[in-house]
Amino acid sequence: MKTIAVVGTQWGDEGKGKIVDLLAADADIVVRFQGGNNAAHTLVVDGKKFVVRLVPAGALHPGKICVIGPGTVVDPFALVEEIDSLKACANFDDSRIKLSYDAHLVMPYHRAIDRAREASLGKNAIGTTGFGIGPAYEDKAARSGLRFADLLDFRSFRQKLERNLAEKNRYLKAVLKVEPVSSDDLIKAIQRVRRRLLPYLCDTTEYLSKALKEGKRVLFEGAHGTMLDIDYGTYPFVTSSSCIAGAVFAGSGLPPRCLDAVIGITKAYATRVGAGPFPTEIKSKLGERLREEGGEYGSATHRPRRIGWFDAVLTRRAVYLNGASELAVTKLDVLTGIDPLRICVAYELKGQRVEELSLSAARLDKIKPIYEEMPGWHEPLAQARTFSELPLNARRYVERICELSRARLSMIGVGAARDQVIVIRNPFRE
C-alpha cells in the first residue's frame, strides 16, 4: 500500500503521533491536511521528548518530506517557534518542510477573539485551546481569510491585513470588550516571520500529484478525532474543521480513488479535554488514577483530561465514518492493575437499548451507557513486543474492542517510547 491515512476515533489525544511516527519510517512524505496548532503530538525519540503541533509527526525521521496542506490553518509565529524547537533533534531538517500556498494564516486577532469569546461564554464555554482556530476557519468560510500565497506580495497582503484588522478591532473593543491588536506591531512581526517562511511555501497539491506518479509512499496525519469533527462530532463541543478521513481529500488535494487504507487510532480507554458530552466519563478516584498513570494532561494546553471507559458505540461509528479497516489500540499498558475493566457496548435511551447512535439525533447527555465487564490483568506490559507476550486478559480485551468496533487489529501501544508498539499489521509493508 502506498497511501495511508491515520485518524482519531475518539476526542483526539488517541496517541496518533506515536503511530504516525512509526508508520513514517516506511513513508516518503507525511501530510497534515486539517486543523492547526490546536493539535499536539508528544514524541519520545532517544529518551528526549518533542512536541509537534503543526509540523507532521514524521519530521523526526531523517529524509522525510513534511507537507502542511491547504486544509490547515497555520499560526506563522507558532510554526517558526516549533521549527526552532525541533532543531534540537538531530534527525530534523527544516528544508524538508513544504507549506501550502493555500493554507490560511491564524493571526493574533483570531487568538484574541477565541479567548475573549470563551471567557464571555462562562459556564457554556466550549473549552477551546484558545489558539484562534475557530475564528481563523470562520474567516476562511467568510472568504476574508489570509493565505500564505498572499505573503508573496507583501504590499497587497498588508492592505488585506489592515482591512481585516480594522474590522476585528472594532469587534474586539465594542462587542467583546477587550484590548485591540496593534497594527504596527503585527505588521513588523509578520515581516520577520515572513522571511523565515517564504522558503517553505509551495504548491503542495502539485507536489503530491507528482510524488504519487513517481510511486512515493504518502502518510496522511489526521489531527484531533472523529468526535471533534465539525459535522459528525459532539457539536457544538467540537473543533472547527473536518477531522474524518474524508477531509484528507479536501485538505490535501488527493483524489479519493488514491487512498489505499485508513487506520483508526483508539486509546484503550477514553479521554476528552474541554467541555461537552462524555457518556462513559469516570468521575471517581479511578479516573484520577488513570489520569496520572496515563499522563493525561493536554500536550497543547496542559489541561487535565477527562477520563472514561472505552465506548464501543462511538468507536463503531467512527470506524464507519472513516472507512477504517483497522484499529491501532494505544496505551493498553495504562490499564494494568484495573480489574475488572468496563466497555460500553450500547446505550440506554428512553428505556430502549441502542447500539448505533447518530449524535445529532440523540442527546448524549441523556443516555446511559450499558457496560460489559471484563477481567483485567496485573502484569506490566512495557516489555511486550508480540501479541503472544501479552497476558491472556489483555489480549481478550483488545480483541473485544476491535470486534465491537468492527475493525481488524493492527497495532497495540504499550508505552511512550518509540519501540513500545506491538505491530500486528503494517499496511505499508503489505
Q: Annotated active-site positions, please?
A: 13, 41
Nearer of residues 51 and 349 to ligand IMP, judged by Cβ: 51
Please identify which residue in 6, 19, 27, 223 interacts with ligand IMP, judged by CB under 6 A.
Answer: 223
Nearer to ligand IMP, 133 or 254 (CB): 133
Rank residues 116 and 223 by Cβ distance to Mg ion and give the closer one.
223
If the CB atoms of residues 2 and 32 are measured against ligand IMP, the closer one turns out to be 32
- Residue 224 touches which of ligand IMP, Mg ion, none (CB < 5 to 8 A by kind)? ligand IMP
Residue 134 partner contact from ligand IMP, Mg ion, none using kind-dependent CB cut-offs of 5 to 8 Å? ligand IMP
Binding of residue 127 to ligand IMP (CB under 6 A): yes
Closer to ligand IMP by CB, 11 or 397: give it: 11
Q: Phi/psi at 49 (nearest 5 deg)?
A: -95, 135
Question: Scanning residues 14 to 53, which ones bind ligand IMP (CB under 6 A)?
Answer: 38-40
Pattern of binders to ligand IMP over 228-247, x per CB under 6 A? x--------x-xx-------
| Residue (150 or 221) nearer to ligand IMP, CB | 221
Which residue stretch of 39-47, 182-190, 334-342, 409-417 sits at the interface with Mg ion (rule: CB under 5 A)? 39-47
User: Based on the number of CB atoms within 10 Å of its own CB, is 288 exposed (0-12), middle (13-18) or buried (19 or more)?
Assistant: middle
Closer of 20 and 113 to Mg ion (Cβ): 20
For residue 99, the Cα-to-chain-centroid distance in whole angstroms is: 18
Q: What is the 8-class DSSP label of residue 17? A: H
Q: Determine which residue in the list 274, 294, 308, 427 makes contact with ligand IMP, applying CB under 6 A.
A: 274
Picked from Mg ion, ligand IMP, none, the partner binding residue 357 (CB below 5 to 8 A depending on kind) is none
CA angle 44, 9, 247 (to 5 degrees): 95
Asked if residue 359 binds ligand IMP (CB under 6 A), the reply is no
C-alpha cell at 57: 509527526
The residue within the footprint of ligand IMP, chosen from 2, 12, 208, 306 (CB under 6 A), is 12
CB of 234 to ligand IMP, least distance (A): 9
3-state secondary structure 33-67: CCECCCCCEEEEECCEEEEECCCCHHHHCCCCEEE
Closest CA to 19 of 429, 424, 411, 415: 411
Smallest separation (angstroms) from Mg ion to the CB of 273: 8
Q: Please, which residues have CB within 8 angstroms of residue 15's CB and are 6 or more apart in sequence?
A: 265, 267, 328, 330, 331, 413
The minimum distance between CB 100 and ligand IMP, in angstroms, equals 20
Among 96, 224, 316, 331, binds ligand IMP (CB under 6 A): 224
Q: What angle do CA 420, 422, 423 make, to 5 degrees?
A: 125
| 10 contacts ligand IMP (rule: CB under 6 A) | no
Of the pair 13, 333, the CB lying nearest Mg ion is at 13
Nearest distance, CB of residue 20 and Mg ion, angstroms: 12
274 binds, options ligand IMP, Mg ion, none, Cβ within 5 to 8 A by partner type: ligand IMP
Q: Give residue 149's identity as a one-letter amino acid code.
A: A
Q: Which does 330 bind (CB under 5 to 8 A by kind): Mg ion, ligand IMP, none?
A: none
For Mg ion, which residue of 27, 40, 219, 344 counts as binding (CB under 5 A)? 40
Question: CA-CA distances (angstroms) from residue 59 to 62, 89, 98?
Answer: 7, 10, 11
* 374 strand-pairing partners: 341
Q: Can you spell out the DSSP letters for 69-110?
A: -TTBEE-HHHHHHHHHHHTTSTT--GGGEEEETTSEEP-HHH
Q: Which residue has the cell 462511538?
A: 314
Among 50, 77, 92, 131, binds ligand IMP (CB under 6 A): 131
**Residue among 4, 106, 133, 261 that touches ligand IMP (CB under 6 A):** 133
Choose from ligand IMP, Mg ion, none: what does 128 bind? Cβ within 5-8 Å by kind. Answer: ligand IMP
Radius of gyration of the chain (CA): 21
Q: How far is CA 317 from CA 236, 295, 356, 373, 399, in A?
A: 18, 27, 7, 21, 18
The only residue of 6, 7, 10, 13 in contact with Mg ion, by rule CB under 5 A: 13
- Round to whole Å and give the CA distance between 161 and 144: 10
Q: Which three cell numbers stand for residue 265?
A: 487510532
Q: Which residues contact 166 (CB under 8 A, 6 or more apart)?
A: none
Please give the Cα distance from 427 to 2 (Å, whole number).
9
Contacting residues toward ligand IMP, per CB under 6 A = 11-13, 38-40, 126-129, 131, 133-134, 223-224, 228, 237, 239-240, 273-274
Contacting residues toward Mg ion, per CB under 5 A = 13, 40, 299
